[in-house]
């Protein structure tokens, strides 16, 4: 696997397109942003026409680690306690960008791929200030929207709806592409009984899994807890797989006050696959997503998926899919869960979600599409 810090050091590399994948959060936290950056590196590093390097904010195999002030580190916690910052994400990205600057001076970069908005803005300022010639390929994974993203050289959208909106506002088609993330859809073979035994779950439990950061402002775990509590079904267990954030303690107290049976887990990829296999239904309560990789992961495990009717959900499963609903309304998720729990057999729904992923989100095809886009950007 080819890696180099000095892009001009080897003549062979001059024949290749030099691509940097940047992720300030990678190694500091584990969310969709960080997972997608790592997976794209693994996919692109196998392409002979590219010389790819992954730059991460924390320890990460095969990555060049860049100094930064992590969002959950001591400095960030101090600044939050002094109310000088609201969260540490901008601090992490700005400091990462400063730490990256020496690498930018060391050699020629053709393309910089990234999806963290503050870091992307800093890379644009560096490009103008120091006359760097790299092209910024901004992947709008949050999404932040094309009104912000259009300042960068090239835009990657995760679904066709976002592209249509950008084109309607006059952004040139040659600068845009729809390239969903390569998702880790590895399924570790195991029986449902064994998977449940791993988490201490009895066979008669109705298990709802949600894979998301434990927060209220984006992933809306509070909404999920309240909707499940409405059901008043003691046989329900919630598997919440993610990472703690500032609002997590409040959410855990809420779950306890509501009398819910909740397991909170931060898992390895293999154990996360076991968690999917142990569940009956997957729920993602957030109202806004670019294209949540966890939707693809759950579908790869043949789970029925309940999601808000945002554009990412529509793009993955189709607008007519029965698992899409308006989660901005109270009681809607509870009603869907009640109906699915009462259903005699949910396997046809799981089979449908699996077909959606296996037929449309092929890793080889997606990688080929991104390589072509990189080649087009560097003509």
Q: What is the pLDDT of residues 80-109, one digit of tens each?
A: 889 898 889 999 999 999 999 999 998 789
Max CA distance (Å), the chain: 67
Residue 207 pairs in a beta bridge with 237
pLDDT score, position 322: 96
Cβ contacts of 85 within 8 Å, gap of 6 or more:
76, 79, 91
Confidence category of residue 291, pLDDT binned at 50, 70, 90: confident
pLDDT score, position 7: 36
Q: What is d(CA 371, CA 352) in angstroms, rounded to the nearest whole number?
A: 30
Share of the chain above pLDDT 70, in %: 96
Average pLDDT, integer, range 48-70: 96
Confidence category of residue 362, pLDDT binned at 50, 70, 90: confident
pLDDT score, position 142: 80
pLDDT score, position 3: 37
pLDDT score, position 31: 79
Residue 336 has pLDDT above 50, yes or no: yes
Average pLDDT, integer, range 23-48: 92
Residue labelled with tokens 């590093």 = 45
Name the more confident of 7 and 17: 17
Residue 2 has pLDDT above 50, yes or no: no
Average pLDDT value for the chain: 92
Helix H or strand E encompassing 311 = helix 311-317
* φ, ψ (nearest 5 deg) of residue 165: -65, -40
Domains of the chain: 11-183+362-377 (3.40.50.2000), 192-360 (3.40.50.2000)
Q: What is d(CA 128, CA 117) in angstroms, rounded to the nearest whole number?
A: 17
pLDDT score, position 14: 57
pLDDT score, position 184: 74
Average pLDDT, integer, range 240-250: 93
Q: What is d(CA 237, CA 262) in angstroms, rounded to the nearest whole number?
A: 6
pLDDT tens-digit readout, 176-188? 999 998 877 777 7
pLDDT score, position 116: 96
Average pLDDT, integer, range 254-274: 95
Task: Please list, residue by residue across 264-288, b when 16 or more beta carbons sit within 10 angstroms of its beta carbon and e when fewer do.
Answer: beebeeeebbbbbbbbbbbbbbbee
Share of the chain above pLDDT 90, in %: 79
CA distances from 77 to 69, 88, 197, 315 (A): 10, 8, 38, 38
């Amino acid at each position: 696997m080819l890696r180099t810090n000095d892009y001009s050091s080897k003549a062979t590399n001059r024949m290749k397109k030099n691509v940097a994948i940047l992720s300030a959060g990678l190694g500091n936290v584990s969310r969709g942003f960080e997972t997608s950056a790592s997976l794209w590196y693994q996919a692109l590093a196998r392409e002979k026409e590219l010389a790819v390097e992954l730059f991460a904010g924390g320890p990460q195999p095969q990555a060049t680690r860049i100094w930064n002030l992590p969002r959950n580190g001591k400095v960030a916690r101090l600044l939050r306690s002094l109310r000088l910052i609201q969260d540490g994400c901008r601090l992490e990205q700005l400091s990462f960008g400063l730490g990256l600057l020496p690498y930018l001076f060391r050699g020629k970069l053709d393309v910089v791929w990234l999806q963290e908005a503050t870091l992307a803005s800093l890379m644009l300022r560096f490009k103008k200030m120091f006359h760097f010639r790299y092209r910024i390929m901004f992947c709008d994974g949050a999404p932040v929207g094309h009104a912000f993203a259009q300042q960068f050289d090239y835009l990657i959208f995760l679904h066709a709806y976002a592209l249509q909106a950008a084109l309607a506002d006059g952004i040139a088609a040659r600068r845009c592409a729809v390239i969903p993330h390569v998702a880790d859809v590895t399924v570790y073979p195991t029986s449902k009984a064994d998977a449940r035994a791993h988490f201490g779950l009895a066979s008669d439990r109705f298990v709802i899994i949600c894979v998301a950061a434990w927060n209220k402002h984006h992933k809306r775990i509070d909404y999920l807890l309240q909707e499940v509590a409405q059901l008043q079904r003691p046989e329900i267990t919630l598997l919440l797989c993610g990472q703690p954030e500032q609002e997590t303690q409040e959410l855990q107290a809420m779950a306890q006050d509501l009398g819910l049976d909740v397991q909170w887990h931060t898992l390895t990829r293999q154990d996360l696959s076991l968690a999917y296999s142990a569940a009956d239904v997957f729920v993602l309560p957030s109202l806004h997503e670019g294209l949540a990789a966890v939707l693809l992961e759950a579908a790869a495990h043949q789970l029925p998926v309940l999601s808000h009717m945002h554009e990412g959900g529509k793009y993955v499963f189709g607008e007519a899919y029965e698992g899409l609903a308006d989660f901005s309304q109270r009681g809607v998720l509870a009603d869907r869960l009640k109906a699915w729990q009462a259903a005699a057999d949910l396997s046809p729904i799981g089979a449908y979600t699996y077909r959606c992923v296996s037929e449309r989100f092929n890793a080889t095809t997606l990688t080929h599409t991104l390589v072509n886009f990189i080649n087009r950007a560097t003509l």
